[in-house]
Structure 1
C-alpha cells in the first residue's frame, strides 16, 4: 500500500471520527499538494482504474470508494483531462451524498467544497457538464431541505442557500434560466427553512443577486432593484468583482429613479465607468446625439449583458433632460412654444423631424409623468405646471413603467 495514501486514509478516518467538516473539505480538494503527492506515488496503479479496487474496505464505506475517487480526480486534473476529471468528481459527489444524507450539519463545509469543485470542473468541461452538475447539486439541495432529525443548530438546512446559489450559477452559465423556477418553488414549499436573514451574509448576497437578476429578466424591475440593492450593501467590501456584477444591473435601475452613481463610485469600477459615464453625461446634459452614438458603440456588449433594451428605453431620461434645459432657457416660463422643443430636438441630434413629431414627443413626456402640464394644440403652446413642472424621477408613481 502507498504510504501517502495510507496516511490520507488515516486522516480521513480521524476527520470523520472528530466530525471535523473543514478538515474533511481540505482533504478532498483536488488541487491540494497532498493529492498530487499521492498521485505521484500511485502513478503505476492509476493506469488501470480497476487496480485501485485493492484499497476498497480500507476504511468504512462509502469513504473507501470516496478516497479512491478523490485520487482518480486528482490524477485527471494533473493531466488536464477535464472530461474525465468531471466524471470522476460526479461519482465522488454521489458517494458523498450517500453519507451526507444521514449526518448532521457538521458535514456542510465538505459539501460546499466538493460541490464548488464539481461546478468548477463542469465549467472547464462545457455546457452539458454544467447541466449535469446542476442536476447533481439539486440532489444535495434535497438532502439539505429534508433534514428533520438534526437539532436546529446542527441542521443540514443551513446549507440550503449556499447550494441554491451554486445551482443558479450553473443555470445562468448555460442560459437555462427557466429551470430556476423549480428550485425556487421548492424553497417556497418548505416553510420550515430558516429565514434568509439567519444565514451567513455571503449566502444571502449570492441568493439576492440571482433573485434580483431573475426579477430583472422577468421585467419585475421594482423587485430587481430591491434585491440587488440589498445584495450590494451586504456584499463584502473586498469582493470587488461581485460588487461590479451587482452594479452592472443596479446602476440602470437606479437611473430610472433619478439616482445617478457618483464619480467616486464609478472610479472604483473602471469597467462600469467606461460603460456608463457616456450615458450618464448625456442624460445630465440632454445630449441625445451622444446617447444614441453610445448605444451604437456598446450595442454588442449591452446585448450580451441583456441591457440593450433597458438603456434604449432610458433614452427618454435624456429627452427629459433636454426638455428641462429648454424650460431653463425660457426663464422657467410656464408657457413655452412647441417650436422651442422642436428646435432643441433638431439641434440635439434627433435629425430632421416635423413639428407634429416634436409635439408628440412632448405629449409623451407629459403622459409618462416626466413633465407636468398640457399642450394647447390650437396655440402650439406647452403649458407647464407653475410648481414642479419636472417632478423628481423618484416621485413618479411608477418609475419603472417605461421599462414594461
Structure 2
C-alpha cells in the first residue's frame, strides 16, 4: 500500500485490477476506503479523473475507481454534497459487483467499507447542508440495495454466502435510523437478523453493536425486560478496555435496570464516570420526589442528549412505591388512609396533589405489582397484603 500512497493514477489502477483479479477483498476495500493513507496522495486528484481511467481499466472497476477518486477530490475541496453524490454512486457500483458475483462473497469487505464511508460522508453532508435527515435517509436507501443483494442469497450452509454480510449493513442502517429518529424502520431489519440461520455466526463485535441498538429500541418501546437482555449482553461482551463503549451501553442499561428495580452500585457509576445517576439512585430509594426533580434539572442536558429524559422521569413510579412503603412502616397497619399517602406526597413537594390523584398513583402501583393490595374506595383506605405488601427491590 506504500506505493499507492505516493504513486500515480496508472499505478493505482493496476493495483486495483490486480487485487480484484486475485480476489483479495480486504486489500480492495482499503483501496477504496476514504480513511486510507492513499486519500492524502495529491497525484490521485487529477482534474479529469474520468479521462485518465476510461479505456485503461475494465468495467465495472473503471466506475468504481472514478467514483471513489471523485469523492476523494470533493472531500479535499470540502464539497460534502458532491462527495456524497460520488460515494452514493460508488455504493451503487459495489452493489452491482456483488450482484454479479455468483456463489462467492470475497467482496464483502469492499461492501462494508463503501457503505460505512457513505454513512460518514452523508453525516458530513447533513452537517454542512442541513436537510432534516433527508440526506441520511437517501444514504439508507443505498445501503438497502446492498442489503437486498445479501438477503437474496439463499445458500444457508455455504461459507461463501453473502448473507454473512447482512448484520454489518443492519448495524449501519440502525445507526442512521436512530440518528434521524425513524425507529419504526428498524423493525423489519431486526426481524431479518433474528430469523437468520447465521445470527450466532456473525462476528462478536457486530453482535454487540446490534444488541446495543436493539436494546435501546426495546427501551423506547417500554419493553424493559428485552432491553435489559440485549443491553446486558452488549455490556458483558464488550471488551473490558473499551471504556467509552461500555460507558455508552451503561448510559441506557442503568435506567433500564432501575426501572426493573435493580439499583446500580456507586463503584460501578464511578468507574464509568456516570455519577449523574448516583443522586438519582439515592432519591429513588428514599422516595424523594423533590430530589428527583432536582437531579433531572441539574443533569437535564445529559439526559436529553442521551435521549433518556422521559425514561428517567418514569423512575418517579419507583420513588412513589418507596415513599408509600415508608408511610406503611410508620403507620404499622395493613389499612392505611389515602390521606396519609396524600400528605406524604405533599411533604415531598407534590403540593397540588389531591385525593383522586393519590388514589390514581396507588392504583397504578398496585397494577404494576409494586404494592400488593387493593383500594377500599368506600372507606378511603388502601388495604395491603399481610405478606410482602411492598415486594423488595433488588440491587446490582
Superposition TM-score tier, normalisation by shorter sequence? 0.7 to 0.9
Q: Distance in 1 between matches of 2:7 and 2:311?
A: 61
Structure 2 residue 15 is the aligned partner of structure 1 residue 11: yes
| 2:372 alignment counterpart | 372
In structure 2, what is the Cα distance between the partners aligned to 1:294 and 1:268?
20
Deviation at 1:157, TM superposition (A): 1.1
Contact 2:167 2:193 survives alignment (8 Å): no
Deviation, 1:238, is 3.3
- Kindly indicate whether the alpha-carbon contact (under 8 Å) linking 2:288 and 2:323 is maintained by their aligned counterparts in 1: yes
CA distance in structure 2 between the partners assigned to 1:356 and 1:252 by the alignment: 29
Give me the whole-angstrom Cα distance separating, in 2, the residues matched to 1:87 and 1:158. Answer: 28
- Does residue 246 of structure 1 match 2:244? no
C-alpha separation between the residues in 2 aligned to 1:119 and 1:311?
A: 31
Q: Does 1:288 align with 2:286?
A: no
Partner of 1:147: 153
1:32 equivalent in structure 2: 36
The match for 1:89 is 87
State the TM-score, normalizing by the size of structure 1. 0.83
Q: Return the alpha-carbon distance in structure 2 between the equivalents of residues 345 and 358 of structure 1.
A: 8
Pairs within 5 Å for 1:221-300: 221-270=224-273, 272-274=274-276, 276-299=277-300
Q: Deviations over 1:307-364 (max 9, x none)?
A: 333333321211211222334445x554555555444333222226556765664455
Separation (CA, whole Å) in 2 of partners of 1:149 and 1:365: 51
Which of the numbers 202, 210, 223 marks the counterpart of 1:199? 202
- Match of 1:80, SS? coil
The equivalent position to 1:208 in structure 2, one of 195, 208, 211, is 211
CA contact (8 A) 2:80 2:124 kept: yes
Name structure 2 gaps, 5 residues minimum.
1-5, 127-132
- Gap runs ≥5 in structure 1: 395-404
Is the CA contact 1:73–1:88 (under 8 Å) kept in the aligned structure 2?
A: yes
CA contact (8 A) 2:23 2:106 kept: yes
- Pairwise CA distance, 1:33: 2.6
Paired residue total: 381
Q: Which of 218, 221, 225 lines up with 1:218 in the alignment?
A: 221
Alignment-derived partner of residue 314 in structure 2? 313
Q: 1:315 to 1:24 in 2, by over 3 A?
A: same
RMSD of equivalent CA atoms: 3.0
Matches of 1:140 and 1:80 in 2, distance apart? 27
Match of 1:179 in 2: 185
Separation (CA, whole Å) in 1 of partners of 2:192 and 2:15? 37
Normalising by structure 2, what TM-score? Answer: 0.84
